[in-house]
Amino acid sequence: MYKFLAVCGFGVGSSMVLKMSIEKAAKERGIDCEVENTDLSSAKGTGADAVFTSQELGDELKGSTKSPVYPIQRYMDKEEVGKALDDFLSTKD
């Protein structure tokens, strides 16, 4: 099972929506995963298989997390989120 982080600035709104999009896309792909939504500062100290967040926050995170960071422009765009998920999976083959 993979552990993913969905990150926004505050961990209450956008990241929650992103978490739902990731779960939906993961389900469609038959991936077993656990998604946690969180704010930027908590994300820095949390390990995960992959981190999904905006371009801006991703740039800020990259220096402080060992997890691969996948930037998402539209948190509710199932196709974009799905593509990021596919990118992550292709690193696991």
Partner 1 sequence: MLKQYLSEDTMQHKTSVDNWEEAITVAARPLLNKGVIDESYVEAMIDSVEKNGPYIVLKDYFALPHAQAGAGVNEVGMSLLTLEESVDLKGNEVKVFLVLAAVDASAHLDALSEVSQLLMDDEKYEVVLQGDLEKIRQLIEEGNE
- 22-31 in b/e form (b: 16+ CB < 10 A) is bbebbeeeeb
Give min distance, CB of 92 to partner 1, in A: 26
Among 10, 41, 64, 86, binds partner 1 (CB under 8 A): 10
Give the Cα separation of 43 and 65 in Å (integer): 8
Window 73-92: contact mask with partner 1 (x via CB under 8 A): xxxxxx--------------
Q: By the criterion CB under 8 A, which residues form the site for partner 1?
A: 8-14, 16-17, 20, 40, 53-57, 72-78
